[in-house]
Homo-oligomer: A and B are copies of this chain.
Amino acid sequence: MMNPMRTAITDLLGIEHPVIQGGMQWVATAPLAAAVSEAGGLGIISALTQPTPDALREEIARARELTDRPFGVNLTFLPAITPPPYEQYVAAIIDSGVRIVETAGAKPTEAVAAFKAAGVTVIHKCTSVRHARSAEAIGVDAVTIDGFECAGHPGEDDVGGLVLVPAAARALGVPVIACGGIADGRGLAAALALGAEGIAMGTRFLVTAESRVHDDVKHAIVAGSETDTRLVLRELRNTSRVADNSVAREAAEVLAGGAEFSEVAHLVAGARGRSVWETGDTEAGIWTAGQSMGLIDDIPACGELVPRIVAEAEGVLTRLTR
Interface residue ranges, A against B (CB under 8 Å): 1-2, 4, 128-129, 147-149, 157-164, 166-167, 170, 180-182, 184, 186-187, 189-195, 225-227, 231, 291-292, 294-295, 313-314, 316-318, 320-322
A227–B225 Cα gap in the complex (Å)? 27
Q: Who on chain B is nearest to A5 by CB? A: B320
A–B complex contacts, Cβ < 8 Å, 27 sampled = A128-B227, A129-B226, A148-B158, A149-B159, A149-B160, A157-B227, A159-B227, A159-B291, A160-B160, A160-B180, A161-B161, A162-B180, A162-B190, A163-B181, A163-B292, A167-B225, A167-B295, A186-B194, A186-B195, A189-B194, A189-B320, A190-B190, A192-B320, A193-B313, A317-B317, A317-B320, A317-B321
A162–B292 Cα gap in the complex (Å)? 9
Interface centre among A170, A226, A231 (most CB of B within 10 A): A226
In the assembled complex, how far is the CB of residue A157 from the closest CB belonging to chain B, in whole angstroms? 5
A227–B170 Cα gap in the complex (Å)? 15
A187–B162 Cα gap in the complex (Å)? 7
Instruction: Say whether A4 contacts B322, CB under 8 Å.
Output: yes
Instruction: Say whether B193 contacts A317, CB under 8 Å.
Output: yes
Instruction: Say whether A162 contacts B149, CB under 8 Å.
Output: yes
Partner of A2, one of B159, B191, B317, B322: B322
A193–B4 Cα gap in the complex (Å)? 14
In the assembled complex, how far is the CB of residue A239 from the closest CB belonging to chain B, in whole angstroms? 12
Q: Who on chain B is nearest to A150 by CB? A: B160
Q: Copies of this chain, how many?
A: 2
A292–B317 Cα gap in the complex (Å)? 24
Q: Which residues in B have their C-beta under 8 angstroms from that of A181? A: 160, 162-163
Instruction: Say whether A189 contacts B184, CB under 8 Å.
Output: no
Q: Which residues in B have their C-beta under 8 angstroms from that of A292? A: 163
Instruction: Say whether A160 contacts B187, CB under 8 Å.
Output: no
A128–B227 Cα gap in the complex (Å)? 9
In the assembled complex, how far is the CB of residue A141 from the closest CB belonging to chain B, in whole angstroms? 22
Instruction: Say whether B320 contacts A163, CB under 8 Å.
Output: no
A195–B189 Cα gap in the complex (Å)? 11
Q: Which residues in B have their C-beta under 8 angstroms from that of A166? A: 184, 186-187, 295
Instruction: Say whether A162 contacts B182, CB under 8 Å.
Output: yes
